[in-house]
Amino acid sequence: MTVMTDGGLLAKAIEQKTDEVIEADIQFSSDSNSSTSLLNLFNSNSMRLGSLLALLGLISGFITSIPEYQQDYSYAIFLPILFLSGSFFFLWTTFDRKKTAAIAVFCVLLLATPYAITSLDSSSLTIVDDDLSDDSTQIVLKIRESGSLFGSSGSSADVTISYDGANVWGGKISFSVDREDGIGSYGLLSLNIADFYSGNADENNKYVINFVSGDSDLTYTLTDSSLQRTVTDVQGDAIGSIGFDNDCDNGKDTCIVGIGLRTWSGLESIGSNRPGGTPHSDYNVKATLYYENTDSSSVSIDYPEVNVVNGDASWDSMNGIYGSGSLANVGDYGSELPLDGSVEDVSIGMQYIPIDEMQINDYGCYIFEVMTSQQDPWQSSDSLTSLTYYEYTEGEVDTGDPSEEYWEKVNSC
């Protein structure tokens, strides 16, 4: 039989206690080091930059998931991708390489979250753009659908249009989201401009559409330039083409060899500026150069009537006497409409009508009349008229000296 002394029991107890203290100390030291390491990670510059870029990526993702931004800024989707790519890099350099997959999944989820939330929402529509049809007779609305996972838009829409705050048209129109592009699903809605046009759109007079379909109730302001169709100002100018020496009869030093006619029909401008362009307007221009008065018996140049439709002008050229008979893109770069003749003069920048072909070409006062008219619903009045006056004279010279001719603008006849 073995007898355990008091000293042996005490030594064994002390030894066991010492082992427990050492183990607890090691465990505490390990936990302390782990906490310190994690704290150091969160305080590192890489961690801070990665977290900031992740937040920016999430915010920009919510912004770019909005249908209007997807339409107008289709490449904006690369912004959250760039932010989250940067976030991945800085987080990857912060944590253990074993966590690469987890970091990648985290960044992908952040990128997908805004679009997932949008798709989980109930179906909604957004008017993202308005454009003109090829012949400019219709406004075409592009309407995008978002959040269509649990439903889709209806097959019709109630549309009302107001101008300057007053309703000018309303009706029910068939509509469906039946198209798709790289951004998503959308539908097109066409509106005949002639049905609702009530005047030019400008800063103070807007055309506003109210569109109701399903759960979507939308308001959209149409583009002003598409709805500027009424001519409000008309101007004209008759320019003398100057000939020298051999171009002139009777030994004149200079002479007027022809007249170039220009007109402007468009939006009224401030001061002495020419009218602004209306590239989608339809109107007719009648230009006549009179001698001394505007009686029918005093016509000097009776230019054929010009018909302008959606920027394309056409008239009877009389086999080249009056230019080519057509001109495209009228109103795209201002409102000028040159009324060409048969002879080119680079100094006046157009073709002129030779003075010998004018019905009356005597010295005296000439009146250039420009009349612009429009049909309903574009017209604001029966017609707009511009009158400008010119004096065709021969300069006074001493006997035997060559004379000169002048074509000058004056205030009246």
Predicted confidence (pLDDT) per residue in 212-247, tens digit: 987 788 999 999 999 999 999 999 999 999 998 788
CA triplet 140, 143, 147: central angle to 5 degrees? 175
| Lookup: tokens for 54 | 């992740």
Q: Does domain 124-225 have CATH number 2.60.40?
A: yes
Q: What is the mean pLDDT of residues 175-203?
A: 90
pLDDT interval class at 126 (50, 70, 90): confident
CB 272 within 8 A of CB 245: no
**Cα 31 off chain centre by:** 63
| The pLDDT value given to residue 197 | 97
* Residue 276 in this model has a pLDDT that exceeds 70: yes
Q: Considering only residues 122 and 405, tell me which one the structure prediction assigns the higher pLDDT.
A: 405
The verdict on whether omega for the bond into residue 338 sits within 30 degrees of 0, i.e. cis, is: no
| DSSP category for residue 21 | H
At 307, the amino acid letter reads N
At 17, the amino acid letter reads K
pTM: 0.72
Pairing of strands 364-373, 350-354: unpaired
Q: Considering only residues 385 and 216, tell me which one the structure prediction assigns the higher pLDDT.
A: 385
How many Å apart are CA 327 and CA 314, to the nearest integer? 7
pLDDT interval class at 211 (50, 70, 90): very high
| The pLDDT value given to residue 213 | 87
Q: Which residue has the tokens 């989201």?
A: 177
* Residue 150 in this model has a pLDDT that exceeds 50: no
Question: Measuring CA to CA, which residue among 207, 208, 147 is closest to residue 177?
Answer: 147
At 187, the amino acid letter reads G
pLDDT interval class at 5 (50, 70, 90): very low
| The pLDDT value given to residue 22 | 45
| The pLDDT value given to residue 69 | 60
* Residue 24 in this model has a pLDDT that exceeds 50: no
Question: At how many degrees (to 10) do helices 45-64 and 78-94 cross?
Answer: 160
DSSP per residue, 96-161: -GGGHHHHHHHHHHHHHHHHHHHHHSPPEEEEEEEEE-TTSSEEEEEEEEE--TT----SEEEEEE
pLDDT, tens digit (0-9, with 9 covering 90-100), for 88-120: 777 777 776 777 787 778 778 877 777 666 655
CB 331 within 8 A of CB 313: no
How many Å apart are CA 190 and CA 142, to the nearest integer? 9
In the chain, where the domains are located: 16-120, 124-225, 233-410
